[in-house]
A and B are shown apart, each in its own frame.
Chain A
Amino acid sequence: MRGKRLFIAVFLIPPLLLYGIFVVSPYAQAFQIAGTDWSGLSPTYDFIGLDNFRRLLDDGYFWNALRHNGLLLLLLPVITILLGLFFASMIAVGGRSDRVGVHGVRGAGFYRVVYFFPQVLSVAIIGVLWKEMYAPHTGAVNGLLRAVGLDGLAVAWLGDPRFSFWCVMAVLIWMNVGFYVVLFSAAMQSIPRDLYEAALLDGASRMTTLVKLTVPLVWDTIQVAWVYLAIIAIDGFAIVQIITDGGPSSSSDVVGLRLYKTAFADGQFGYASAIGVAMFFLTLTVAAMFLRVTRRDRVEL
């Protein structure tokens, strides 16, 4: 019996120690630091209560960044999921249909492998790659536009406050669609074929089949996808920092980048922690709201 206790302790204490020092304690300290005016360099700091949060409410830069996260939150999940569903259903039932029924498209495996490429690359590579893609003279985007005679459209994509944010959003969509195609097409494969055959026999168009049959049956997967894309939308830090660094003139700033700059460029660690706490509650609220809104009866087969 004592041997068993010792065994449990030997196996559990090292992971708990590592986890406690580097994960639990920082999360706990974050709330505490958020209530101080700590600048990091000074050994002393004062507890200033909720002042940091009051300051947050009047911070134009924070609201500007938050607005961009809000736009991402509204558009990124919807566009990515719609594209993902579209391509996944093309792969699952886009093939020929004959007396035997509906078929997957030929080369489905190939598409699934290729679509997944951005998912295995690091955000750093994707960020640097697209920064070069958008470059005004040497970039591939403008090179293509000039090649087809649209010289007028070949603008400085990242240097123009009107476009920079949308360019970043396009990259976020580009890098995420493939994963959800794979995810949705795996979910669609578990739908019995004869349901599609029945629908087609009844004269349903492919669009109707997608909306009325496929979507309800993969609804659980769509929900999970939405939550993960929402988390990506609230973050967005790495891609924005690498591609535009929030510029020009804060036109593509996001909250994560605000936090990073407030802490490690301005040294206002107390205030930066307050931004972190705000982000945490934002994430919680969005997740809770979403789960409430989309609760829907499960479709049983």
Chain B
Amino acid sequence: MTVRPSPGETPPNHLNRAPAPAPAEATASTPPATTRSTPQTPSAGPRAPRRTVPVFSHFFLAVWALLTTLPLLWAVLSSFKSDNEILTDPWSLPSRLRWENWGRAWNEAHIGRYFLNSAIVVTGALILTMLLGAMAAYILARYKFRGSRLVYYAFVGGMMFPVFLALVPLFFVVRNLGILGTLPGLTLVYAAYSLPFTVFFLTAFFRTLPTSVAEAAMVDGCGHYRLFFQVMLPMARPGLVSVGIFNFLFQWNQYVLPIVLMQGEDAEQKWVLAQGLTALAVNEGYQGDFSGLFAGMTIAMLPVIIGYLIFNRQVQSGLAAGQLR
């Protein structure tokens, strides 16, 4: 099936077929309909009813925008309310800004500790992912050796398996290595599960980079290692940023891996934010500290939202690239 813009094609054809008369005469005879920029005659007549369309679309768009933001706003507002205010009316505004709720969530509910744990794990995992991923992708994109296609498909194949299939054996692999319930253990697992997409994306990216620069550097006596770290990595920066944002969100928002790998005695000290927050939500039922829960939620939510608002273009394109693999 082909969609062909037949009315749109007509004018150029028509012009081409015209046997080129005196141009001045032609312009003079053209009716004002073709001169498009006529500010004195605003689009009127039969088109007028279409003016309702923007109102119509704005209405629906605004409804969904409200549906998206109101729950988040509600959580932020509730984090400043007292438990009593939350219990009497869920939609009332806080009578004053109770920052003490945030303090309680940060210290007593250990959100601060979980936040720090998340930051440590994600920082380590992100550095490891980007370094190892870029190294593997660079070799797979630029060097020919026996078995290179096999290695490439081994990495890329990892994107097709549901993580659930691996959960049970992974638990025992990590336990047998003696790193169950530890931050380094979680870091290694995060990095390993980020590799398939990172390698896939960066291999494609390294292939698009011009070979001439690398060749010139080689002629000048640049070694393989220097070529990679000082020439190729800086050139691959846009790709590294996209895949880095994708990996950051993937790792920061991870839920299934930590709840499986950070269980057992003493593991509570090492919990990450996602895990600590859900535990807080379960405990809140017993302790009745609603405001503390909302404060914890807000603390977990705000950094990501603020980061997103600053880098929204990069985040959207990074995530879109990740989904369209």
Question: Which A residues have a C-beta under 8 Å from some C-beta of B?
Answer: 3-5, 7-8, 11-12, 14-16, 18-19, 21-27, 29-30, 33, 40, 83, 86-87, 90-91, 94-100, 105-107, 110-125, 127-133, 137-140, 142-144, 147, 174, 177-179, 182-183, 186, 192, 194-195, 197-198, 201-202, 206, 213, 216-217, 221, 224, 228, 231, 234-235, 237-238, 242, 256, 259-260, 263-264, 269, 272-273, 276-277, 279-280, 283, 297, 299-301
- Contact A120–B224 (Cβ < 8 Å): no
Q: Report the nearest A residue to B77, measured CB to CB.
A: A140
B274 at the interface (CB under 8 A from A): yes
What's the least CB distance linking A238 to chain B, in Å?
5
Q: In the complex the two chains form, what is the Cα distance from A237 to B162 in whole Å?
A: 12
Assembled-state Cα–Cα distance A277/B1 (Å): 40
Q: Select A125's contact among B56, B166, B167, B300, beta carbons within 8 Å.
A: B300
Q: Write out the residue numbers on chain B whose beta carbons fall within 8 Å of the beta carbon of A98.
A: 42-43, 47
* Contact between B91 and A23, CB atoms less than 8 A apart: no
B315 CB within 8 Å of chain A = yes
A-B contacts, 12 listed (Cβ < 8 Å): A4-B224, A7-B225, A21-B173, A23-B158, A27-B166, A29-B173, A87-B61, A117-B68, A122-B252, A124-B253, A132-B78, A132-B294
Report if A111-B65 is in contact (Cβ < 8 Å); known contacts: A124-B278, A140-B71: yes
CA gap between A142 and B90 in the complex, in Å: 9
B interface with A by C-beta (< 8 Å): 1-3, 5-8, 36, 42-43, 47, 50-51, 53-54, 56-58, 60-61, 64-65, 67-72, 74-75, 78, 86-87, 89-91, 128, 132-133, 135-136, 138-139, 143, 145, 151, 154-155, 158, 161-162, 164-174, 177, 188-189, 191-193, 195-196, 199, 223-225, 228, 249, 252-256, 260, 263, 273-275, 277-278, 280-281, 290, 293-294, 297, 300-301, 304-305, 307-309, 312, 315-316, 319-320, 323-324
Shortest distance between the CB of A154 and any CB in chain B (Å): 11
What's the Cα separation between A290 and B282 when bound, in Å?
Answer: 39
Are A263 and B169 touching (Cβ within 8 A)? no
Name the one of B5, B65, B161, B307 contacting A27, with C-beta atoms under 8 angstroms.
Answer: B161
B212 to chain A, nearest CB (A): 19
